Amino acid sequence: MRLKLKTAPTVEPISLDEAKLHLKVDSAEDNTLITALIKTARQLAERETKRAFITQTWEMYLDAAAPEIEIPKPPLQSVVSIKVIDSDGNITTVDTAIYDVDASQDSPGRVKLAYGCAWPTHRNFTSFIVEFKGGYGDAAADVPEGLKQGILQLLSHLYENRGAEEIPKGLKALFWSYKIMRI
């Protein structure tokens, strides 16, 4: 499985004003840095939890598809399309009538073949492209408060330790209850 971000979030879970208040920064001198660190903190937190926080669109590439496909980056909002590449290189969109979608807030979403259906014939190499939307919603207010607090703490660490690229062990505990344990 390979993942490719198609459409990034249009907002961050933490605003510049919230970040500056948390960091106790009054001047505009570090606005550009803080804005960049907000994005970095969100990306690190998403990587740690294996979730999408704000609505984003992804493409997942599979060589083959089992009768049930697990969709990463919960919470799953929707499966936009499933495309199949046949042995001649032709791309077709799979009819939504042959599969069902199970979106779950607490675990990865799933796509499952409908009873008696089969996936179309494919080329067995990067044959399936599943486009999906994940995230809690379009607005910062949609993100759970616990995740926002974790992002703020991580932001503080990144701001105070310029050049840091990992989540310190102690901060990882803030994201533990949101972490997806498989995929």
DSSP annotation of 116 reads T
Distance of CA 124 to the CA centre of its chain: 26
Q: 182 versus 67: which is more confidently predicted?
A: 67
Q: What is the pLDDT of residue 164?
A: 77
Q: Which CATH architecture has domain 2-53+139-178?
A: Orthogonal Bundle (1.10)
- 58: exposed, middle or buried (Cβ count in 10 Å: 0-12, 13-18, 19+): buried
Kindly report the average pLDDT of the chain as a whole number: 94
CA angle 103, 109, 112 (to 5 degrees): 95
Q: How large is the C-alpha radius of gyration of the chain?
A: 19
- 30: exposed, middle or buried (Cβ count in 10 Å: 0-12, 13-18, 19+): middle
Identify the band that residue 132 occupies on the pLDDT scale cut at 50, 70 and 90.
Answer: very high
pTM equals: 0.91
Q: What is the mean pLDDT of residues 123-128?
A: 88
Identify the band that residue 157 occupies on the pLDDT scale cut at 50, 70 and 90.
Answer: very high
CA angle 10, 14, 20 (to 5 degrees): 130
42 three-class SS: helix
- 22: exposed, middle or buried (Cβ count in 10 Å: 0-12, 13-18, 19+): middle
Instruction: Please give the Cα distance from 117 to 102 (Å, whole number).
Output: 17
Q: What is the pLDDT of residue 183?
A: 57
Q: What is the mean pLDDT of residues 134-159?
A: 96
Q: What is the pLDDT of residues 29-46, one digit of tens each?
A: 999 999 999 999 999 999
Q: What is the mean pLDDT of residues 113-122?
A: 92
State yes or no: pLDDT of 12 exceeds 70: yes
